[in-house]
Amino acid sequence: MQHETEASLVGHEYEVEVGPVAHGGHCVARTDAGRVLFVRHALPGERVVARVTEGESTSRFLRADAVQILEASKDRVEAPCPFSGPGKCGGCDWQHAKPGAQRRLKGEVIAEQLMRLAGLTPEEAGWDGTVVPADGDKLPAGEVPAWRTRVQYAVDAEGHAGLRKHRSHDVEIIDRCLIAAPGVSELGVEKREWPQMASVEAIAASGSGDRQVILTPRPGGRLPIVELDKPVSVLRIGEKDKQVHPVHGRAFVRERADGRTYRVGEGGFWQVHPQAADMLVKAVMQGLMPRKGDMALDLYCGVGLFAGALAERIGDKGAVLGIESGKRAVEDARHNLKDLERVRIEQGKVEQVLPRTRIDEADIIVLDPPRAGAGKQTVRHLASLGARRIAYVACDPAALARDLAYFAEEGYKPVKLRAFDFFPMTHHVECVAILKPVAKEA
């Protein structure tokens, strides 16, 4: 029987030559026996000692950490963060790589996913192969951009705040997160004790001085009196309903993008990098080229970022329909866009609401789906609406590539793709693909 022959290989060490980067913040290596290792804290071309962190003798692949660097890449730097490294905080993947090398690695992952899942070369996807940093993030090796305006701290049994270790519930206690935005760091969450709490999320709006903490108590846990270094609103996650409830102060933060102010309630979704919202609006609008009188769709619309930008550009003869599943986000979107009469926001899942609207055509479409992507059914429906341009905003290159393959089956192809490094030090990357119907290229 199979389980009798399984033996854990955790702790086993292999000396390996590190191969290419893979999606997920690690590189691929093979042992002398041909066994595949996914190695974190390594870089392509290095020779390392890799210690197994997950896997058995029968596993298809093993996960490992590079615990000794025998031959270093020229792209390697000393990790600026003392909490980064094998067995430590799992928040960052590439602290040990120069900033330019991080962007190259992300570009290689995008290229690999496009080819493997969509059969597209960068040229065929309309992409120049670069991953663009946000303004101000081009820093020398060894310096870290402080970009993360939302940080979810885990709390250990003693009430100390930290960040989770990679693929683990264990907490790495920290005194400071280098990628946290100044507005988060200045709250001083790490210096306080959080008895009976499971997690503390800190939010520092970049569009205003609004600060927020969202507390998740342990079962039966009582809320502490929150005294932080700056004025802050306090919210809590209900034990039974898992909903966010205001405790003290505002239930929302105010963000700004494209000249408008957006209310984002109760920990709702907003781009985490301070410049991401503006840069994405610019990329989407340049790609869609809205015209006066257009009928536009904004799918997975959140608090209405793209719907607002579209409405400003298509004028009072155009119309925008936004669809969003989150109840609170829909309330916020309706509030944020209440001055724009030609915008309607519907609540529900895109694949359910869109057919119910009986809309059978649209001029331009923007979609910003969750990490899993839009999926074949939704892509097929969108393609049937005959839009002259579709903008697809993606936080996962694998999901983007899968959906681009579905779009290709329906007669749409990417004409421009851009990639943005809104998550420095991590493996995450944001893409915007502009699609056009193949027949209407002329």
Per DSSP, the residues of 324-370 read ES-HHHHHHHHHHTTT-TTEEEEES-HHHHHHHTT----SEEEE---
Per-residue CA distances from 235 to 249, 332, 410 (Å): 8, 17, 45
Distance in angstroms (rounded) separating the CA atoms of residues 228 and 213:
10
Beta sheet of 343-347, edge-to-edge order:
131-133, 412-421, 430-437, 389-394, 364-367, 295-299, 319-324, 343-347
The half-sphere exposure of 264 on its side-chain side, counting CA atoms within 13 A, is: 28
Q: Which of 81, 177, 301, 395 is an active site residue?
A: 395
159 φ, ψ (degrees, to nearest 5): 90, 10
Q: Is 281 helix (H, G, I), strand (E, B) or coil?
A: helix
395 a catalytic residue: yes
Residues 108, 109, 114: CA angle, nearest 5 degrees: 100
Q: Among all residues, which ones are annotated catalytic?
A: 395
